Structure 1
């Protein structure tokens, strides 16, 4: 399902040339038609950008299409380049593939990306830890329309998106350190969610129902006419379920309910483009045994989060220097109940985090290529009842008789410089990011990177070296409750990575093979010494170094009946741990992961999608009885059948079709068996 982006040629018509030294960049990735001459310049591909640029095509049936010459940019570099010319590989899941997938959340979609590890605590996006290439959920950057929405408190709830699946235009996955592109914290990769702002889309109403009392209703539509320079889209949804298990006392403990609302708009004319979004996610879920330990075997935990996302971005379309400023504010609140509805047994944990950011990227073209330069400042402020240092002035917790008495505040600044050069089929992109945090004792530190690619008729070779930094989360530094003991003096993590590979493509076959090496210093993990028996507790630590070696392979075949794709990933880490020591994250990685899918071609509106995933995790966990168990490999099969009519789509899907109930993603967290969903989407 997730596949590399390959070169696809398109014919475009120039109506006039600008006599500028940088004019070639305006034609990157296009087949140029000048009068009656056809000159193949640089081959192009489907756009995969932060800003959802679209070509405007006239209604003529001529073989050459008239298209405005807007830049087609890709998130593999700071400066916008076409997908085919970008030296860094970006894996993209398109809107059509999202609609065909047997999933109900972004978390489930990412399970089919071979380099991504999704450790599920609850189904349908209730809560999952997502990592890339053997890293942890804290070591990736998650972006919404190019804006960093990561929660510095913890990475557990990062995927509480305010948007519905129907809002998403595509999902982009960048594997490996990405500090030069997305700033610090992108230690092992980045995931960018690109949403639609409206335009020609129709309003839709979606209704779903399924196993374990699952129900969902969602509506989305445009607020403005498509004939104006403004586009505006609003979506709202509500979902709930009774959950798939009960506690020892017979109470619901994996139920959930939540609402989402998302608004996005754009304004575009010949001079500028502005885009903005505002979203709300409010969700509560039974956490069962999510954070239980052998010492603390609570099975009626509960958590509630409220998240607000806002951002305003801009870009000028004229002039030699292109500015791309952005300002954003994200607000996160959560309440954690160790014993559901029983604060007298254990006080609830309350946290409130506000993130303010301002960033500027700019680029210009000159005889030596395309250069990007910019900077970002990000302030992260947490007030809490459990995390941080004592506050000089306390803050009241709304709706309670308690105050926030602890807190942390840090400001992270960074500056980047990147230069891109294209020599016929060769692309070289090199640069660095310089980073500093008010929390860390580190001086301003530079993290460089270089990407190189060479494109031939059906083959593209690529290689890269990149480095990055990540600051510890506030939970990793300060969480000290019920079997957890954090270290406030953790050092920042640092990563250096090498990667090389090739892509092959023909109309019938697409393939990719890559190998990589990661060298990590001061890698953060939670470990437990099981030799301490009932007194054992999880401790946050820095591993001195971890070396990881891996490779990934992808192949897809197109036939008359449909498309078959398969991927495989292998990772080996050289870090050995002492007997009796259990790792919770950094050393519990997927050594083997195999995914395969089959998508039938549509026949009279009918189609079928099958997804299979098999994975084998390194590591072990301690049961509540004190036994040490290794994670066992498992396979899951998902399916979706749909009938698409002009004004509606009917579908049925099932996750875990073979009803596997024995698999374990996290120790001591039971997983559901088969989960059925049936729904209808109406076009209004």
Structure 2
């Protein structure tokens, strides 16, 4: 019955939308004006966006030499990372002070995340398989549905381009008995572009907790496969498909789990074709997986496998020279397969959305509206309006207001009553409203982007004691999630950079005031101030650079009793081109061997060194 509902919703929806290429999205745009599509599903340069956007391209990824995905985004404007240790350990990536599960992850447009916990598995993303990262800060629920209260981060896997096949490969090693290797090929003809690659990462890691489990290092291994293909027919029809799949094992120190086998992946196939001269449409099916099997003393202890089947229909319509419309339907069904006896193991969601953008002189207006029908909580309508003005040739101003929501997770709703915790099927979605003012100054090869915002989140879901709370025996307490708290988050973000001759820099500063409105306490693990500075220089065939990260003190608990000290770290890197195809890279992380925590009780690596040999076949 549920599948027939999904099919009927998609067939019944009739909607138009926007051309893939908008004016000004020339592929030869300057490095500091990259094209992004995540903010509105419409191709625009970052300078044209009416949102706060950060783009990290493949060139920057290779220059920064990250060991894990969180190394790429930590300290960026509005971004905060906390983790239960490095190398495949549970990681939270917060946008603008909201929760990590208020932050939607997309892989090539496919929704990711665990249906049981609600959060995305950022720790399993392989940096070597990533072509580009787009971070959009601020609500995007009116475009993408649930979870995008703080924003959206979209990861694009590596793609092929027209030309003969080109092989790329790398081999690296370093501290903590770490090694990595990968091999790929990419190319294209006039009709077909393709890319296929595989990578492996293995490390003994570090002991992530001193007072839990054993004292041995907690290792991690990850084997990943990425592929992408697009084929164009004579009649304008384009067939496309992509996959990004990772599996491996991560060792942990908890009271009940020693290690976890994981699967994290997305696969998609679809077709694009013109309906009319000004109307293109796209149909796609996708599936994402987030699977974990936990072991204690080598014996399987628990299993949480979640799968999301997704159907999307998107339409792009050019309504005039200065007006674009995107509209469509996306429907998905979450399924849970677990050794825990959840009261429900599946639910569907159907969403209908539209985005309109128009230019009026030097003003831009943008509006989006979305209606979601969810099997569990019913319907929800969200919207967003934005305004932009080209004040001068170099200065662009913007303002926006948007609403968003986060659906309760399967753990929140349907966890079986085990005496100490139970789900609550009567939970309502968490809701938010966000105001933002911003400006972007772009001149020659430098830019500065500034944004101020306020987000109010209502009906936050918090576990509360509901039985035996005052009997003096904490082990008899029974907890249940309730919609009981509200939060107010205010912030200032500054991001800038330049590409001038041999010099390249990026700088970010975030000031944050994240308050629980019911208690007046700070929200846990939100630093009032954080900053990042990347500086690189090319000297002939040699490039050298470094990253400085700084983060103010935070609290590790809602009552603000457990304080985590602020810290600063410095990473150094260098790369030398042996010839046009071979490059040797080296990095030294945590140069001053700082001891710090982003989550209470969990260690981070001290000083560490890594080297890598990279090959990129030239045409």
TM-score (norm 1): 0.78
Larger Cα Rg: Structure 1 or Structure 2? Answer: 1
Conserved? CA contact 1:276–1:311, under 8 Å: yes
2:384 to 438, 445, 449: 449
1:361 to 292, 300, 314: 314
Larger RCO (CA under 8 A, 6+ residues apart): 2
1:108 to 48, 71, 78: 71
1:29 correspondence with 2:24: yes
**What is the SS of the residue equivalent to 1:590?**
coil
Q: 1:107 to 1:420 in 2, by over 3 A?
A: same
Q: 1:557 to 1:377 in 2, by over 3 A?
A: closer
Displacement, 1:369? 1.9
1:680 correspondence with 2:613: yes
Q: 1:259 to 1:113 in 2, by over 3 A?
A: same
Instruction: Identify the residue that residue 374 of structure 1 maps to in structure 2.
Output: 328
**What is the SS of the residue equivalent to 1:664?**
coil
**1:89-488 map, 5 Å:** 89-155=52-118, 158-159=121-122, 164-199=126-161, 200=163, 202-222=166-186, 226-245=188-207, 250=214, 252=216, 254-269=218-233, 271-289=236-254, 298=255, 301-317=258-274, 319-337=277-295, 339-342=296-299, 348-367=301-320, 369-386=323-340, 388-389=342-343, 407-440=344-377, 442=378, 444-455=379-390, 456-478=392-414, 487-488=424-425
Conserved? CA contact 2:551–2:567, under 8 Å: yes
Give CA deviations for 1:638-661 in whole Å, capped at 9, x if unaligned: 121111231211011122121112
Instruction: Identify the residue that residue 526 of structure 2 maps to in structure 1.
Output: 589
Conserved? CA contact 1:168–1:196, under 8 Å: yes
> What 5-or-longer segments of structure 2 have no aligned partner?
1-16
Q: 1:588 to 1:523 in 2, by over 3 A?
A: farther
Distance in 2 (CA, whole Å) between partners of 1:44 and 1:263 is 26
Displacement, 1:240? 1.3
Conserved? CA contact 1:253–1:299, under 8 Å: no
Displacement, 1:683? 2.9
Give CA deviations for 1:133-169 in whole Å, capped at 9, x if unaligned: 111121111111122122222255522556x433322
Give CA deviations for 1:523-560 in whole Å, capped at 9, x if unaligned: 23457999989648986443432111111112335555
**What is the SS of the residue equivalent to 2:71?**
helix
Distance in 1 (CA, whole Å) between partners of 2:40 and 2:19 is 18
Distance in 2 (CA, whole Å) between partners of 1:169 and 1:467 is 31
Conserved? CA contact 1:523–1:544, under 8 Å: yes
Instruction: Identify the residue that residue 35 of structure 2 maps to in structure 1.
Output: 48
Conserved? CA contact 1:273–1:314, under 8 Å: yes
Conserved? CA contact 1:79–1:420, under 8 Å: no
Instruction: Identify the residue that residue 400 of structure 1 maps to in structure 2.
Output: none
Alignment RMSD? 3.3
Conserved? CA contact 2:18–2:316, under 8 Å: no
1:615 to 544, 548, 551: 551
Q: 1:319 to 1:24 in 2, by over 3 A?
A: closer
Displacement, 1:129? 1.3
Conserved? CA contact 2:18–2:280, under 8 Å: no
Distance in 1 (CA, whole Å) between partners of 2:21 and 2:409 is 41
Conserved? CA contact 1:77–1:88, under 8 Å: no
Instruction: Identify the residue that residue 504 of structure 1 maps to in structure 2.
Output: 441
**What is the SS of the residue equivalent to 2:100?**
coil
TM-score (norm 2): 0.86
Distance in 2 (CA, whole Å) between partners of 1:308 and 1:519 is 33
Distance in 2 (CA, whole Å) between partners of 1:48 and 1:387 is 46
- The number of aligned residues is 585
Distance in 1 (CA, whole Å) between partners of 2:95 and 2:445 is 29
1:554 correspondence with 2:495: yes
Distance in 1 (CA, whole Å) between partners of 2:604 and 2:419 is 23
Distance in 1 (CA, whole Å) between partners of 2:44 and 2:519 is 47
Distance in 1 (CA, whole Å) between partners of 2:433 and 2:571 is 36
Q: 1:25 to 1:669 in 2, by over 3 A?
A: closer
Q: 1:674 to 1:474 in 2, by over 3 A?
A: farther
